Each structure stands twice: as structure tokens, then as C-alpha cells.
Amino acid sequence: MNRLILKYGIPLTVVILAVFAWVIYQRIRGGSDIVPLAVAAVIVWLVGAPAFIYLWPRLTVGGFKRAIVKHGFGEGPIPVNSLYAMPSTPSPSESRGSLLATGTDDLLYLGGWLELKDGPLVLHVPEMAGRYYSLQFTNPSDSSNFAYVGTRTTGTGAGEYVISGPGWNGSVPEGMTHIPSPGHSVLVIGRVFVANESDLPTAYGLAKQVALAPLGARGLTR
Amino acid sequence: MGSVLAWVAQSGVVQGIIIGATFAFLTAILIMNSVARAATTTVNGWSTLRECGRPGNGILLRAACAKALPLVNVFEEAAYWTTTKDGTGQPLSGRHEYVLRFPAGQLPPNGAFWSLTMTDTVGYMVGNAIDRSSIDDRTALQKNADGSVDIYLQRDAPPGREQNWLPSPSGKFKLTLRAYLPGAEILNGSYRVPPVAKAQ
């Protein structure tokens, strides 16, 4: 669907504008008053354009949220506060509408949607032994990447990270790194390097070990 | 009440709202596209947007980024260059044969990997006979005598140089070059991706 809109956006727009022109022409020809239509159109236009621009990042991330928590990536919806590792790299055989088909075949992707209202989460990352990886934490309200865990920022060693929402003031367990989120919702996108086909099982094994658990539950067992 | 509804239906207000909303949407798209264009750096036909994904970006820039490159990495994590045109500004098409020549030592500097991906103009990979949709730093590329590397972008295999061949689809196509953990030369802007040249 997205692909069709992208490909045929201009002809589609021309058709819609032609329909509008026809509607307006019919009103004028029929002798009806055109002023209410024009006033409504101008007001909605002037208010709507900035509103669309302001909301665009949120709408975009919202699309990914729906993809994750409603549809998933082939194995059913991905529960909130969990991460899903895609078992293969993007390829031409991917369905045409798939978000996956636009990535790079050098990476395994992970995805997850977090809601931090009920308390912080602990992210566990296995020993990546020098392998490139990254976990990108995106704020849905402005689509900014407010934090990264991975080769560039934290290195490739095993680690545990506490991700907390705004207003949390508990204490971070020793040995864990704190990642404060500006909002309660977070989109996480992970990328794990895959050298080639024969490296895929190793990379996928590591990607699957990147996991989330509530901090609360952990606290009880300590 | 009934008469108000009848007036609304008759007056054209509803049509006005629909027309206004459509115009608002189109205006927003045009504004976001032009902001993205203004923020894009293009060298040798290759375009890159460096400022996306950063906290603190203004409303216009973050909307433009969300539209052009939704959820893209920050530039220090991954540099992306795309092109749909050759070095002379002509659209890339499977009807022609092209060479992308990296001078000696000028493959994209990085701390993770680089890759060059072939897609249709929307960004989807296209199947081909040798099942190769990208060339990367793990491809056993043949070097020329002077150390430069030629990558052949064409539909049919270049005889004797298949290793450096990235098959193109029959129609127009797009190239994406990625450098994960881009090196200092990329971050400071001194690195330039060479132009895609039509084969002689």
C-alpha cells in the first residue's frame, strides 16, 4: 500500500485535485453559494498544514508502533516491553509492503515498543565479542534518538541497562547503567552485524539474547 | 437542529473541510520536502542528511527527517548516501551501464562495515540472477593496477569482472551507500563518494 502511494503519489494527487475542481465547478454552475466552502477550506488549510508538520514524527513512529504491537514481523504481534529479533536479514523475497525490505542485508534487525509507566526495565545485552551492534532508543513524540547502547557508545561487552521513564527516582542496581527516557513510551530498534550467510546463526543467537525484564521483578529475587 | 445539519450538508462546509484538509496535507508534504532538500548535502550526485535523529532538532527539521528517512540513525552511528542520478545528473537506469570507481584507499572509512545496496527508486531490493543486492567490505573485490576499485552497475554480467558486479534492474534504480561507525574523514566532511559514471 505504502509502496503504491509512493510510486503513484503524483498521479493520485492530480486525480484528487481534479475531483475537487469538478465539485467546485458544479457548485458554481448550480448557482450555490461558494463562500462557506471557501472559508472552511482556508481555515482548515491554515490550521491543518502546521498541525500535520508538528504531528508528522509522532505519526511516523506510530506506524512503527502498530507494526510492532499489532502485526509483528512474521511470528505474530510483539508484546509491549519485549524485543523481537528478526531471524533473517532483509532480502528481495520479502513481501513488497514489508518494512524489512528496505534495510540492508548486513544487519539483523530487532524491534520493540516500551511502556515505562509501570516501572523501569532492565535491558540485558550478551557479550558481543567485538561484533558491531547498536540499540537505538527513539522518543515517539519527536522521533529523536535520545540514547544508544552498542559498539560506539558502550562497547561490545555484556551489560545491563536500566531504562526508566520520567519521574522515576529509584536506585540503579550496582553494575547497571542508567538510561533515562524523556517519555513513558520508547521505540527500540536494534541492529546486529551479520558478516555473511554462514555467520547468520551466530548473529541471530546473539540477537535473541538481547532481552528486557522489569526491574521490579529482578529486585525481588535479589 | 435539523435545519443546522441541513445547512451544513447544503452549504459546502463539509466539502470545504475535506478540500482544506487535503491542501493542508499537500502543503505539509511540500514544506517537509523542501526543508529536507535544504538540509541535504549533495556531492558528486550523492545526497546525505547529517542532522537527523538528534534530540533538540526543530519542528521543521524533525518532520522533514521523519518523512525522508524515518527512524534513521544519527550520523555518527551510520552515514547514508543515496543517489538516483549519475555524475552528470541523468537518472540511473538499467538501460545503461555504469562504473563506480573508488580511487585507491578511498572506500568509505568506517569502524564497522560499509555496503552499497541496489534498490528500485522507492527503496525495495530487486531480485536478480546471481541473488546479489549489495556489495560490501566482505565482497572479494578485484583491484585495478593502481589500487582503485571499480564497481560495475549494469544488468548483464561484465565478462571477467563478475566479482565487482552489482546487477541493476531493468528500470530506474537507486543506490544506497552505508558506512556504519563512519570514520573521521566522513564526519568532518572531507570524504567524498565518487560519482557514478556511465560506461564508455
Sketch the domain layout of chain B as residue ranges: 1-72, 74-200
Q: What is the pLDDT of residue A4?
A: 63
Three-class secondary structure of residue B134 per DSSP: strand
In a domain, residue A78? The reply is no
In a domain, residue A76? The reply is no
A59 and A164 fall within a common domain:
no
pLDDT digits (tens, 9 = 90+) for B168-195: 999 999 999 999 999 999 999 999 999 9
Q: How far is CA A168 from CA A165, A180, A182, A184, A215, in A?
A: 6, 9, 11, 10, 12
Strand B110-120 and strand B173-182: pairing? antiparallel
Q: How far is A216 from chain B (nearest CA, A)?
A: 29
A165 and A59 fall within a common domain:
no
A128 and A59 fall within a common domain:
no
In a domain, residue A79? The reply is no
Query: Cβ–Cβ of B31/A53 closer than 8 Å?
Result: yes
In a domain, residue A91? The reply is yes
A116 and A33 fall within a common domain:
no
Query: Cβ–Cβ of A193/B133 closer than 8 Å?
Result: no
Contact between B149 and B99 under an 8 Å Cβ cutoff? The reply is: no
Nine cell digits for residue A137 = 532508543
Q: How far is CA A205 from CA A66, B25, B138, in A?
A: 26, 44, 21
Contact between A91 and B134 under an 8 Å Cβ cutoff? The reply is: no
In a domain, residue A145? The reply is yes
pLDDT digits (tens, 9 = 90+) for B70-125: 889 999 999 999 999 999 999 999 999 999 999 999 999 999 999 999 998 888 88
A34 and A141 fall within a common domain:
no
List, as ranges, residues 169-208 from A with C-beta within 8 Å of B: 182, 187, 189, 193, 195-196
Please name the helix (run of DSSP H) or strand (run of DSSP E) that holds residue B184, with its range, or none: helix B184-187
Q: What's the alpha-carbon Rg for chain A, to the nearest Å? A: 23
In terms of residue numbers, what domain contains A135? 84-221
Q: Residue written as cell 513524540?
A: A141
pLDDT digits (tens, 9 = 90+) for A167-185: 998 899 999 999 999 999 9
Q: What is the pLDDT of residue A102?
A: 61
Nine cell digits for residue B125 = 531490493
A107 and A142 fall within a common domain:
yes
Count of H helices and E strands in chain A?
A: 4, 9
Q: What is the predicted ipTM?
A: 0.88
This prediction's pTM: 0.88
Among the partner residues B21, B59, B180, nearest to A48 by beta-carbon distance:
B21
Higher per-residue confidence, B154 vs A91: B154
pLDDT digits (tens, 9 = 90+) for A12-60: 899 999 999 998 888 888 888 889 899 999 999 999 999 999 999 999 9
Q: Which residues of B touch A6 (CB under 8 A)?
A: 122
In a domain, residue A15? The reply is yes
Q: Which among A157, A159, A201 is positioned nearest to A179, based on CA atoms?
A: A159
Q: Which amino acid makes up residue A182?
A: P
Say yes or no: A82 contacts chain B, CB-CB below 8 A. no
Contact between A83 and A212 under an 8 Å Cβ cutoff? The reply is: yes
Q: Which CATH architecture has domain B74-200?
A: Sandwich (2.60)
In a domain, residue A31? The reply is yes
Q: How far is CA A123 from CA A66, A217, B74, in A?
A: 22, 13, 21
CATH number for the domain harbouring residue A91: 2.60.40.1610
How many independent structural domains does chain A possess?
Answer: 2
A95 and A55 fall within a common domain:
no
Please name the helix (run of DSSP H) or strand (run of DSSP E) that holds residue B30, with its range, or none: helix B13-39
